[in-house]
Amino acid sequence: MTKPIHSEVDVSDVYRSFSELVGALAHEIRNPLSTIRLNMELLAEDFQEPVNPRERRAIAKIELVRQECDRLQKLLGDFLDFARQESLDLEPGNLNTEMSDLLEFFSPEAKRSNVEIVRYLDPALPAVRLDHKTFRSAVLNLLLNAVQAMHEGGQLVVRTRLSGMGVVLELIDTGPGMDEETLARAFRAFYTTKQGGSGLGLPTTRKVIEAHGGSIDIQSAPGRGTKVAIWLPVPPRLLTPIVA
């Protein structure tokens, strides 16, 4: 009896097809969303100066629809970022330089939130291979999470150090911390404790870090803040330290 032929499924091809389908669907949803929001803005112009309770109710409903459109647009953007299969452009780089540039950009946001950023950057780190755009986006999401967790302000420690055959970036905040249940679900897609959050920020960040060949870990406890540690490998030929 002739054995049936089983064709091997290329996981990357399946994922690529899925990403293309998701992207096409998201764009199909975005177009009518944009049309709805535009028409809400035009309709709001007719009620710029409401003169009676009926018109005031109408403008309130229009604003609610506009807010929901904005929320769905953001959710679609986050979902596309999560589903997208990106080919990383990895180049040798200095993690300290990367973080110094990012913190310079982020410092106004920290100041507005009354958060002090403390840096402990090891001056003799070896080079690592980074895709600058995606790595910065991933770390920026972590910085925003830390600052938003410290509602009354606080301190955010940013530290780099050697660890085995790699380097570690640590972000340590003085926020309220997370309980065991929240911590266990932190990387689960669509799980969020933030009002209006998509729950895709941390899963997307982990995906980016793992695409760099690295790993990410979170330690937290109620009342003790949160520490996020990112480990990145150092290729053997890049082990010579690059002084920042």
Please tell me the least confidently modeled range out of 13-22, 104-113, 133-142, 223-232: 13-22
> What is the pTM for the complete model shown?
0.67
* Residue 98, phi-psi category: left (phi > 0), alpha (psi -120 to 50), beta (remainder): alpha
Which pLDDT value is given to residue 24?
A: 72
Q: What percent of the chain has pLDDT over 90?
A: 30
Which pLDDT value is given to residue 118?
A: 94
Per-residue pLDDT band for 233 (boundaries 50, 70, 90) equals very high
Please tell me the least confidently modeled range out of 69-73, 117-121, 171-175, 215-219: 69-73
Q: Tell me the CATH architecture of domain 91-238.
A: 2-Layer Sandwich (3.30)
Region 171-184: mean pLDDT is 88
Using the predicted structure, report yes or no on whether residue 5 has a pLDDT greater than 80: no
Identify the H or E element spanning 14: helix 11-45
The DSSP line for 124-176 is: TPBPEEE-HHHHHHHHHHHHHHHHHH-TT-EEEEEEEEEETTEEEEEEEE-S-
Identify the H or E element spanning 116: strand 115-121
Average pLDDT of the chain to the nearest whole number: 81
In this structure, are residues 116 and 175 in contact, taking their beta carbons and an 8 Å threshold?
no
In this structure, are residues 238 and 128 in contact, taking their beta carbons and an 8 Å threshold?
yes
CA 213 to chain centre: 18
Region 143-154: mean pLDDT is 90
Residue 148: phi and psi, rounded to 5, are: -65, -25
Dmax over CA atoms of the chain, in Å, equals 84
| DSSP letter, residue 25 | H
Using the predicted structure, report yes or no on whether residue 156 has a pLDDT greater than 60: yes
Using the predicted structure, report yes or no on whether residue 84 has a pLDDT greater than 90: no
Q: What percent of the chain has pLDDT over 70?
A: 79
Rg over alpha carbons for the chain, rounded to the nearest Å, is 23
Any idea where the domains of the chain sit in the sequence?
11-83, 91-238
Instruction: State the Cα–Cα distance between residues 190 and 204, nearest whole angstrom.
Output: 11
Which pLDDT value is given to residue 33?
A: 82
Which pLDDT value is given to residue 173?
A: 93
Which pLDDT value is given to residue 22?
A: 66
CA 59, 64, 68, 71 torsion: positive or negative? positive
Per-residue pLDDT band for 6 (boundaries 50, 70, 90) equals very low
Region 101-114: mean pLDDT is 92
Region 112-134: mean pLDDT is 91
Averaging pLDDT over each range in 14-18, 54-58, 83-87, 150-154, which range is the top one? 150-154
